[in-house]
Amino acid sequence: MLERRRERELVPNYSLTGDLLSFMRCGLQYRYQNGSALPPSRPVQMWFGEFIHGVMETAYRLWKSSPPAFPWPCTKTPYNANPPSNRAAHDIGVIGDVVEATLAAAGKNPRSRDLRDSAYERAERAVNEIGPQLFPLVQSAEERVIGTRPLTMPAGMKARARMYELHGIMDVLSSVTVGATGNNALCDAVRAVVPNLPSGAEIIVDYKGAARPSTNHPYWKQGDWQLQMYAWLRSKQPNAAPVVAGVLIYINELALGQAGLGELQRDVKHGRTDVKPVPGSRDDYLLRTWTPGAQIPAFSLEFRMQRAIRAVPITDPSMTAALAEFDKVVVDIESCAAREAQHGKIMAHWPAGGDDPTCDACDFRHFCPSPAAARAKPGYQPPAPDTP
Ligand code: SF4
């Protein structure tokens, strides 16, 4: 006898970076950006990261079809003006125009002229410094991966589905090329964490529109989990080879700004980073003698590449641990949504947990109740220090 057709079941669909890592950055900001009818007017982190991804993907495809020699020019279109004429197809300014137009069509724009300028500066460095080392290793670019996980809600809370779906995008490298290529910072970083690369395995790569986090910052651990989760998603694709390592490329390290350099100086001083300049080297001298507000020093390419590239080994236990962490995040998001639906209040049910840089760039800081949001408001006066 035929069974009655079951009701169609909803499977919530989560993006690892767009949803889970955004929620971990700040639950309330995530809710306002993604859950409300009002789209964010300046989704800054989203624009910057997606701009870098878009430029690198287009640059890779151009390089693959007709490899123009590096360095590629970067004649960017001035802010709110017409594009310059006579630019080559591989001019990073031309690539940037297409990527900017695609993002603008999705409502994503840079929040300021300065941010756009720094995005082009970093995109130019990424193409001309990372590109020559990365592009020859890529087996497949912008691989889309998808997988499902069980969704188990806490006791007393009804799940809206039994599963959730997770997706992500990554570049994939082959262990054969990575193992055999010499004089390459990316291969060196991978071989340092997996000295005996098995033949036929894969290495996954993703870009971060950020600086290398301090090793005691939550972003440090979250970056590792992201790679583990991507590796698990990759393993769920048909005919997938095992993933033995993952690489994050922190693009901002190629051209640090004032804030990033100040952070690096503090991280080195307090032992909160795994990549420091060699003591007594020129990079060491430049970093120690720099003072905030002074010109950004010209660090060596070798040091900047070491800071930008982070490789982590992938194993079954490390993937299982990361999966458990992300399962918890999905349960947290679903629980916040359920409580909001029950009580009709947003602020009371989504955690406002942004750190200072996140709040500084947040559209919702004007009405957000968190202390970090108060510090990000124009005209904020810090309380007077306690006097003895
Ligand atoms: S101001 Fe800060 S705490 Fe408030 S929503 Fe924005 S990021 Fe979150």
Residue 86 counted as domain residue: no
Q: At what angle do helices 113-125 and 92-105 cross, to 10 degrees?
A: 130
Q: pLDDT per position in the chain (388 positions), as tens?
A: 445 554 555 788 888 888 888 899 999 999 888 765 444 444 445 788 899 999 999 999 999 998 899 999 999 999 888 999 999 999 999 999 999 999 999 888 888 899 899 999 999 999 999 999 999 999 999 889 999 999 988 888 877 788 999 988 899 999 999 999 999 999 999 999 999 999 999 999 999 999 999 999 999 999 999 999 999 999 988 878 999 999 999 999 999 999 999 999 999 999 999 999 999 999 999 999 999 999 999 999 999 999 999 999 999 999 999 999 999 999 999 999 888 888 888 889 999 989 988 898 888 999 998 877 777 666 666 555 443 3
- Where does 249-348 have alpha helices with state H? 258-269, 282-289, 301-308, 316-343
For ligand 1, the distance from its centroid to the CA atom of residue 25, given in whole angstroms, is 9
Report residues whose beta carbon is within 6 angstroms of any ligand 1 atom.
26, 28-29, 352, 354, 358-359, 362, 364-365, 368, 370, 372-373
Within a domain: 35 = yes
Pick the residue whose CA is nearest to atom 4 on ligand 1: 368
Residue 341 lies in a domain: no
Q: How far is the CA of 63 from the centre of ligand 1 (A)?
A: 40
- Name the closest-CA residue to atom 2, ligand 1: 359
- Does 124 fall in a domain? no
Res 9: pLDDT: 56
- What confidence score (pLDDT) does residue 147 get? 92
Residue type, 21: L
pLDDT computed for residue 28 by the predictor: 93
Q: For residue 360, is it within any domain?
A: no
Residue 113 is assigned to a structural domain of this protein: no
CA of 339 to the centre of ligand 1 (A): 19
Q: How far, in Å, CA of 60 to CA of 248, rounded?
A: 17
Q: What is the distance between the alpha carbons of residues 211 and 138, in angstroms, rounded to a whole number?
A: 23
52 and 122 in contact (C-beta within 8 Å)?
yes
Domain-located, residue 47: no
Task: Give the pLDDT confidence score for residue 369 in this predicted structure.
Answer: 85
In the three-class reduction of DSSP (H, G, I as helix; E, B as strand; rest coil), residue 294 is classed as coil
pLDDT of residue 379: 67
Going by DSSP bridges, is the β-strand pair 202-208/243-250 parallel, antiparallel, or unpaired?
A: parallel
For ligand 1, the distance from its centroid to the CA atom of residue 32, given in whole angstroms, is: 10
- Residue range(s) defining the domain that contains residue 221: 14-40+136-332
Name which of 40, 51, 22 is nearest 333 in CA terms.
22
Q: What ligand 1 atom has the least distance to the C-alpha of 355?
A: 2
Report yes or no on 264 lying in a domain: yes
Q: Which of 303, 246, 242 is nearest to 275 (CA)?
A: 303
Per the structure, how many domains does the chain have? Answer: 1
Residue 95: per-residue pLDDT: 97
